[in-house]
């Protein structure tokens, strides 16, 4: 009478909780997922190939458009990889401003993660409150570089302009109110029984699996591995900053939530230190107008809000374009842990698993 | 026992509701009152959105005191543009030593507003202005030029005129 067979369904690509155009092929036994396969490529633009046909200067605009929620962090990686390739030393003030903006961007990215992740799971109020704070950060982006999302904030060798007048006031005002806002989110979520039922013990990923799959960022730290490139291989002005790398050992969705909330507090701490210890001086190093590299290759990794973003650049003699350009996108590599998290769980929990990875499809498909 | 009580009485939900209620009351009792700092939503088409001084809007050619276009056709902006939206045709004009652009075409539909052109310009002859209502009804309206085209680069975008309801 009842046929006992597995059912195949597609989650996405047009599904609001896949955060873009991600398609997940699922095979279900009742409500249990037995097989899960993410299908990507719907947003492929060929960023790496396009950048190979453009000069080193022009390539930066494409890094904005990979992970559009954390454009500043992508810009920083691109600028620093190029500086490594050409052997440019960036002035200290520029380093501080870069660190400052990068941390603001981490806050913005984590806020958008909190907002959408909570919305996916069913807590809509947090969405509105988190976007309220993100708005202030985007306003600061606009004040600094003229654009809110696709910032193109840095230049190879430093910054285009110094901080605008009034920026420090804006930043301090934001910092003064941000801890109360964080408490507000935590009061709404941390103890909430519905939130806990949906997250505790859901989408487990052990430290061994996470390391084997190359997962980085808060997902790895929630499994108890204190690996943060800001501490392990300091770049920009992080060597001079005093901050902690928050970790949890539970390795579930709730632990990742706690790690990200703690990270936001640390980011606010770094911003405070940047503002207090901002050195004076120029913001741009002296660089030639046309950048021509020697034959050389560099790989430079930075800690983007989602994990390790690495830029691999190969220079060609006499050419103004990179010979080869490759991005190690954190979202792309974190996404391969989705089958590990989802298989064996319920179908309702795959939404939590996708949300907790904090993926942006612009970066995964590139 | 304590845990049982906590399960029975939803303190956690009440905590969340208190926050939502606080914000609701804040907004409810100050509604329609102007200059309340925590009203973060503005009624956009009626209230004009403020932009920061460095905002990157539409490309504009600048004129000097005589009303002439400052551009001298050095083609720096054309070369640096990551999406190749600028096309300049060099020409001459009587009574001017420097070259004068016969055509300065700007295809806004592909422009990504990165401000590299302004940065590369050594003569300060272009800026990105503060216009952001750039949508139009026709595709041709995105092709901007000095003159003669359907849209002139010196005029504001047509949408600014349409976005506010006439009534």
User: Shortest CA distance to A67 belongs to which of A7, A20, A120?
Assistant: A20
Please say if the pLDDT value at position B124 is more than 80: yes
Instruction: Specify the pLDDT at position A203.
Output: 86
CA distance A201 to A252: 5
Shortest CB distance from A188 goes to which of B19, B55, B114?
Answer: B19
For residue A34, the SS3 value is strand
For chain A, list residues with pLDDT below 70.
1-2
For residue A37, the SS3 value is strand
DSSP annotation of A56 reads: T
Please say if the pLDDT value at position B165 is more than 50: no
Transcribe A139-204 into DSSP letters.
Answer: HHHHHHHS-SSS---EETTEESS-PPTTHHHHHHHHHHHHHHHHHHHHHHHTT-HHHHHHHTT-S-
- Residue B38's closest chain A neighbor by CA? A132
CA distance A1 to B75: 77
Disruptive mutation site among A66, A122, A147 for chain B (greatest number of B CBs within 10 Å): A147
Contact list in B for residue A174 (CB cut-off 8 A) is none
Q: In whole angstroms, what separates CA A321 from the centre of its chain? A: 26
Burial A255-279 (b: 16+ CB within 10 A, else e): bbbbbbbbbbebbbbbbbbbeeebe
Contact list in A for residue B116 (CB cut-off 8 A) is 57-58, 61, 152
Indicate the pLDDT class of residue B156, thresholds 50, 70 and 90: low
Structure tokens at A8: 């195949």
- Please report, for chain B, the start and end positions of each structural domain, with discontinuous segments joined by +: 1-41, 59-163
Please say if the pLDDT value at position B6 is more than 50: yes
Indicate the pLDDT class of residue B35, thresholds 50, 70 and 90: low
Please say if the pLDDT value at position B111 is more than 50: yes
Indicate the pLDDT class of residue B150, thresholds 50, 70 and 90: very low
Average pLDDT of chain B is: 75
Interface check A320 vs B, CB under 8 A? no
Instruction: Specify the pLDDT at position A161.
Output: 85
Instruction: Specify the pLDDT at position B149.
Output: 42
CB A161 within 8 A of CB A155: no
End-to-end CA distance of chain B: 65
For chain A, list the strands marked E by DSSP.
7-11, 23-29, 32-39, 154-155, 158-159, 296-304, 307-315, 322-328
CA distance A283 to A95: 8
Give the right CATH number for B59-163 from 3.40.367.20, 1.10.490.10, 1.10.645.10, 3.30.70.3270.
Answer: 3.30.70.3270
Query: Residue B128 forms beta bridges with which residues?
Result: B59
Distance from CA of A168 to the nearest CA of B (A): 15
Respond yes or no on whether ipTM tops 0.90.
no
Interface check A187 vs B, CB under 8 A? yes
Structure tokens at A110: 């984590």
Interface check A152 vs B, CB under 8 A? yes
Contact list in A for residue B42 (CB cut-off 8 A) is none
Higher pLDDT, A167 or B41: A167
Please say if the pLDDT value at position B114 is more than 60: yes
Distance from CA of B70 to the nearest CA of A (A): 23
Interface check A364 vs B, CB under 8 A? no
Interface check A53 vs B, CB under 8 A? no
Element (H, E) at B61: strand B59-61
Please say if the pLDDT value at position B46 is more than 80: no
Please report the domains of chain A, with CATH numbers, ordered by start residue: 7-365 (1.10.645.10)
């Amino acid at each position: 009478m009842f046929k006992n067979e597995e059912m195949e369904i597609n989650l996405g690509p047009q599904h609001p909780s896949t955060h873009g155009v991600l398609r997940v092929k699922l095979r279900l036994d009742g409500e249990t997922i037995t097989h899960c396969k993410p299908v990507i490529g719907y947003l492929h633009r060929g960023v790496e190939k396009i950048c190979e046909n453009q000069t080193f200067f022009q390539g930066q605009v494409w890094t904005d458009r990979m992970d559009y929620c954390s454009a500043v962090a992508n810009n920083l990686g691109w600028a620093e990889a190029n500086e490594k390739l050409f052997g440019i030393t960036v002035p200290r003030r520029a380093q501080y401003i870069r660190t400052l903006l990068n941390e603001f961007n981490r806050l913005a990215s984590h806020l958008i993660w909190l907002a959408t992740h909570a919305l996916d799971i069913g807590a809509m109020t947090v969405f509105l409150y988190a976007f309220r704070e993100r708005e202030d950060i985007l306003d600061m982006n606009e004040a600094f570089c003229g654009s809110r999302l696709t910032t193109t904030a840095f230049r190879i060798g430093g910054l285009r302009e110094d901080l605008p007048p009034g920026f420090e006031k804006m930043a301090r005002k934001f910092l003064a109110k941000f801890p109360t806002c964080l408490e507000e989110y935590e009061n709404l979520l941390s103890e909430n029984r519905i939130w806990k039922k949906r997250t505790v013990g859901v989408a487990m990923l052990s430290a061994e699996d996470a390391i084997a799959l190359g997962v980085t960022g808060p997902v790895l730290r929630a499994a108890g591995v204190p690996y943060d490139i800001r501490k392990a291989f300091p770049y920009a002005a992080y060597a001079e900053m005093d901050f902690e790398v928050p970790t949890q050992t539970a390795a579930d969705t709730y632990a990742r939530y706690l790690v990200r909330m703690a990270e936001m507090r640390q980011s606010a701490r770094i911003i405070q230190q940047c503002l207090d210890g901002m050195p004076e001086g120029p913001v741009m190093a002296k660089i030639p107008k046309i950048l021509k590299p020697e034959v050389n290759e560099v790989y430079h990794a930075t800690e983007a809000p989602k994990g390790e973003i690495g830029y691999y650049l190969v220079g060609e003699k006499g050419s103004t374009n990179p010979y080869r350009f490759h991005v190690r996108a954190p979202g792309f590599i974190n996404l391969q842990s989705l089958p590990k998290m989802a298989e064996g769980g319920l179908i309702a929990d795959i939404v939590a698993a996708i949300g907790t990875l904090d993926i942006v499809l612009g970066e995964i498909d590139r | 026992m304590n845990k049982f009580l906590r399960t029975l009485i939803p303190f956690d939900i009440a905590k969340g509701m208190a926050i939502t209620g606080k914000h609701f009351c804040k907004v409810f009792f100050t509604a329609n009152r102007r200059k309340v700092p925590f009203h973060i939503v503005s009624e956009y088409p009626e209230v004009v959105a403020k932009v920061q001084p460095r905002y990157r809007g539409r490309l504009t050619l600048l004129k000097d005191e005589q009303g002439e276009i400052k551009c001298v056709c050095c083609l720096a902006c054309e070369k640096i543009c990551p999406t190749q939206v600028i096309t300049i045709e060099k020409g001459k004009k009587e009574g001017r030593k420097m070259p004068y652009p016969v055509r300065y075409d700007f295809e806004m539909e592909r422009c990504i507003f990165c401000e590299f052109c302004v940065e590369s310009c050594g003569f300060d002859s272009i800026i990105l202005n503060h216009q952001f209502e750039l949508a139009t009804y026709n595709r041709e309206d995105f092709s901007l030029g000095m003159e003669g085209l359907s849209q002139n680069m010196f005029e504001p975008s047509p949408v600014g005129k349409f976005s506010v309801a006439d009534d």
